[in-house]
Structure 1
Amino acid sequence: MDQDEQDRAGEIIRADREIRELLNTDRSADAGTRFDESLNTLPVDLDQWSRAAILTGRAVTAWRLRRIPLALELAAEGWTDIDSEHPAGARAVMAMSLLGYLLTGIGHHQAAMTLLRAAVQAARESGDEAELAVALQRLGGTINFEAVNGSAAAAGPMFAESRELLAEGLTLRTHESVRLGLLGAYGAALVGCGEIDAGEKVALQTLEAGLAAGDRWTTAVGNWVLSSVRRRQDALVEARTFAANAVRQAEMINDISLLTRFSTDLADICAALDDYAGEATALRRNVSARQTAMSMMQEGLRQALEQRRLAIQAQRLATAAQEAAVRDPLTGLTNRLGLEHTAPKVLANAGTAGLTPWLVLIDVDWFKEINDDAGHAVGDSALREIAELLRGECRANDLVARWAGDEFIILLVGDGQLGPVVAERIRAAVDGHDWRSRLGAARRPTVSIGVASGRGSLEHLFAAADTALYLAKRNGRNRVEWPDLDQAMSPPR
């Protein structure tokens, strides 16, 4: 991708990031409008990682806007690009950390942690400070939530790891919104490590900065961390106030992950205060958030399954159409198009395996008389019967085709006198067949057969077999002729 395309991709990524920032400031309507407009801007000639970064970023936006089927579609497409090769560069970091963030919200925690750790590693290798800060913030914040949800024994080491990652992120040059995210998550990690005073100081800074910037995501996190501080200090009334504020902010920005976590904590605080009404309200919010997430996922899954069903149906129809295009409708055999398409592969495989290819060209004797005497319907019935006899005398992997009218071709591969042997079996099967039930008193058919073998193209073999078939007709019909291929193809002297 040239520099102009790189610059264009950078502009799209910045515009998409601005849309996600609108969501954090409770401007979902504006975000939705701009998101719809953005979907029309995706240059064709993008490198893999720029494309993955744009797709996963838009998947996150669609998720926040509750457009779940679109989010899943974009995420799946972006994930395919991510899985295709070793990540390298800032946009690979961006793609992986965005997808990790999305998977955290969906509840796919193990895959999320794997991607987020890989994003941090790739960011360190790339040397891009801004993307490393983002990757550290997302990994640290995810570890915080995992520590809160896990056992008390495991929480300490997890909070300690998160604190180190987030402290590193705060030393890097980055966008202000990323710095606020780092700051809020860092405060939560400090509190989790038992550093209550330091955690409270950072949480107050986070809350103040979030309010000043109108950033409801940061405000929600600041309130949540302060609620955790007050719980540790047994100041439960204040803890309830901060937790309620955190829940309200999460509701306003439609962040299901935050809302689920914060409402759970609010319910626990209310229960400790014997505030049953408050607890019930918080639990209803929690249940509603979980139900919303579940219904969103179910709807997304339903639509994904429906799309998959339609895709399979379309594939089957396409396969059926392809098969119909190379299948003779009267006899069910391969038609001329199918033979010409498949024959080169058969001949090439024969050459690779050192085996002899054989072409058997069959013409029905007296077929015009059968049509004249008994009618075309009876003639068609006779052709179908001959096709069955051909199948019966051939192997499953032999190519049996209706060439045109009353002519058939068999292309087979093998050593010895395979072609003439099969041809003679076919001649005898048609000659000895009981035709009375189909043809009545009409003249019964026989077949004349020309056989050719040797290296060469389908056209080469066909020309030789056609010469042999002419000899079979001239020599009395109902017979097999097999001239030497080189002799048959040599020019007359």
Structure 2
Amino acid sequence: MQLDDQLLVGHIPAQDRQVRLLLDSGRFDEADAVFDELIAVGAAVVDARWNRSTVLVHRASLAWRLGRLSLALELVTDGWTEMDLQHPSGSDSAHTISMLGHLLEIIGRRGPALNLMELAVEIARDTDDPDALAYCLANEGIARVLHASGGAGEFAIARQRCAEAEEVARVGRVKRTALAGKARALAGLGEREAAETAAQEALSRASRAQDYVAAALANWVLAELRHDCHELVDARGYAHSALDGAEMVQDSGLMLRFSRNLAAICAELGDPSGEAAALRVAVRAACTSIKLLSEGLGQALEQRRVAIQTQRVALEAQEAALRDPLTGLANRLGLESLAPSLLDRCRSQGRKPWLVLLDVDWFKDVNDFAGHPAGDVVLQEVANLLRRECRSGDLLCRWAGDEFVVLLVDDSEDPREAGPVVAERIRAAVDAHDWRLVLGGVTNPPTVSIGITAGYADLQELFANADIALYRAKRAGRNRVAATPDNEALA
């Protein structure tokens, strides 16, 4: 359903309103050209003077009517994202939410559509804008009569909404639309005489104003009334006029509804050619709806793919920031980020974590005599040996330069012995490693000195204690493991 463009004055830029007026007049080529000019700088570009979500949702409805379904979905997604649906207020929000409801109704999401339309009415009631209230009331009322399953409750709500919209509206088209909607609600409630009067009045006003939408609705109501009385020839005439109006404004929702009604009437009349023609229109309108749903699903899947890819890239970037590029181990930032949770886990399980701090002995000689590229290879080899000798749950880190840290949190070994056992395995592996392919005979093969400590302390305190133990290992002649005094018995 398309309601009065004047309702959007003050909410929508003039060029956007011009496109709608051209569409409502059936001048689609002109509307298409003006829309192209409008979005030449970008369909989502909105002047700061306007409410962006309102304009984007309005443009989505224009794009849909012009058959630009992908653009319509993109715009409605952007517009919906802009909306603050937690605390919406004001006439801009009322218009936007009501239009969102209309677009959801088009693609068959009737329950959510009516929820949004009802919310829009509530918001509009809290404003001092009668046009906004009329717009929202009429939008909801027409949506209800178009899809009412015959229940009196649905028609009663629709009559109340349309009657109130007609009463508060200050401009013509919404009055005509609301009057036609009220006529259908009255017919659904069995008030045939009142429905006939309202429908004829709506048709008369719409014809004088060249309001194709209101005229189509009024003709549809009159067709329904004649059909119920088995006045099938008159019903067919009104149904034809209703469908012509819907086609004039290219509203596929109305086309689908009215063409099915016409096909049913033609079938009862024994008019196979009329029935076939109506069904062709129904198929065309249904194909448009299916295409919209298909593109919507495709776009949703693409958005999901992009979101997953973006999340993956972000995670990779985050991981890269925590990893040493040379060795692939965690870097200092990685250790500081990951260690607190690992230490907390150890404490909660009643285990004392060990911190192993190792330093490559005489590493300066490696760089001086074998060169920095060879020094890099030595560090990579030490990192590989750490991976081989440590447990899967341990945290391995290149702290800085030729210093490495291992936080032992894996519980696969006796925690009282894990530090000394793993540290000695690392020392022995480095000492026994064949360094000839890396260094030849240029310098002495590297060894490591290791300081270890354990306790219920934070990372900073553990590191400080392990550093003291490392200094003792260096002073004692290198290529050995030393523990802090309170852990010496275990080492």
Is the pair's TM-score, using the shorter chain for normalization, greater than 0.5? Answer: yes
For 1:190, give the aligned amino acid. Answer: L
Contact 1:160/1:189 (<8 A) preserved: yes
Q: In structure 1, what is the Cα distance between the partners aligned to 2:49 and 2:407?
A: 45
Q: In structure 2, what is the Cα distance between the partners aligned to 1:425 and 1:271?
A: 90
Measured after TM superposition, the shift of residue 52 of structure 1 is 4.0
Q: In structure 2, what is the Cα distance between the partners aligned to 1:422 and 1:346?
A: 16
1:191-270 paired onto structure 2 within 5 Å: 191-270=187-266
Q: In structure 1, what is the Cα distance between the partners aligned to 2:192 and 2:37?
A: 41
Check 1:336–1:85 CA distance in 2 against 1; reply closer, same or farther (3 A cut).
same
Check 1:157–1:211 CA distance in 2 against 1; reply closer, same or farther (3 A cut).
same
Contact 1:381/1:438 (<8 A) preserved: no
For 2:378, give the aligned amino acid. Answer: G
Q: In structure 2, what is the Cα distance between the partners aligned to 1:44 and 1:467?
A: 63
Measured after TM superposition, the shift of residue 339 of structure 1 is 3.4
1:140 aligns with 2:141: yes
Q: In structure 1, what is the Cα distance between the partners aligned to 2:318 and 2:38?
A: 39
Contact 1:144/1:185 (<8 A) preserved: yes
- State the partner residue of 1:384: 383
Q: Single out whichever of 92-101 and 207-216 deviates more from structure 2.
A: 207-216
Check 1:79–1:348 CA distance in 2 against 1; reply closer, same or farther (3 A cut).
farther
For 1:136, give the aligned amino acid. Answer: L
Q: In structure 2, what is the Cα distance between the partners aligned to 1:455 and 1:364?
A: 26
Contact 2:107/2:292 (<8 A) preserved: no
Measured after TM superposition, the shift of residue 344 of structure 1 is 7.5
2:481 to 476, 479, 482: 479
For 2:243, give the aligned amino acid. Answer: V
Aligned with 1:171: secondary structure? helix
- State the partner residue of 2:4: none
Q: In structure 1, what is the Cα distance between the partners aligned to 2:38 and 2:216?
A: 24
Aligned with 1:290: secondary structure? helix
- State the partner residue of 2:185: 189
Unaligned runs of 5+ in 2: 1-7, 487-491
2:35 to 32, 36, 51: 32
1:318 aligns with 2:317: no
Measured after TM superposition, the shift of residue 289 of structure 1 is 0.8
1:42 aligns with 2:46: yes
Give the paired residue count. Answer: 461
User: In the TM superposition, what whole-angstrom CA distance separates every residue of 1:282-302 from its partner, at most 9, and x where no partner exists?
Assistant: 001101110121023213322
Aligned with 2:46: secondary structure? coil
Measured after TM superposition, the shift of residue 81 of structure 1 is 5.3
- State the partner residue of 1:124: 125
Q: In structure 2, what is the Cα distance between the partners aligned to 1:113 and 1:13?
A: 23
Q: In structure 2, what is the Cα distance between the partners aligned to 1:260 and 1:342?
A: 60
Contact 1:17/1:57 (<8 A) preserved: no
- State the partner residue of 1:491: none
1:173 to 166, 169, 174: 169
Aligned with 1:401: secondary structure? strand
Contact 1:116/1:138 (<8 A) preserved: yes
- State the partner residue of 2:23: 23
Check 1:336–1:377 CA distance in 2 against 1; reply closer, same or farther (3 A cut).
closer
Check 1:255–1:35 CA distance in 2 against 1; reply closer, same or farther (3 A cut).
farther
Q: In structure 1, what is the Cα distance between the partners aligned to 2:171 and 2:36?
A: 24
Q: In structure 2, what is the Cα distance between the partners aligned to 1:199 and 1:308?
A: 48
Contact 1:358/1:451 (<8 A) preserved: yes
Unaligned runs of 5+ in 1: 1-8, 485-493
For 2:136, give the aligned amino acid. Answer: A
User: In the TM superposition, what whole-angstrom CA distance separates every residue of 1:367-397 from its partner, at most 9, and x where no partner exists?
Assistant: 56788789669735632332214642xx72x
Q: In structure 1, what is the Cα distance between the partners aligned to 2:63 and 2:347?
A: 55
Measured after TM superposition, the shift of residue 318 of structure 1 is 3.5
Check 1:369–1:105 CA distance in 2 against 1; reply closer, same or farther (3 A cut).
same
Aligned with 1:328: secondary structure? coil
1:59 aligns with 2:63: no
Aligned with 1:13: secondary structure? coil
Q: In structure 2, what is the Cα distance between the partners aligned to 1:351 and 1:177?
A: 73
Measured after TM superposition, the shift of residue 333 of structure 1 is 1.4
Q: Single out whichever of 437-446 and 343-352 deviates more from structure 2.
A: 343-352
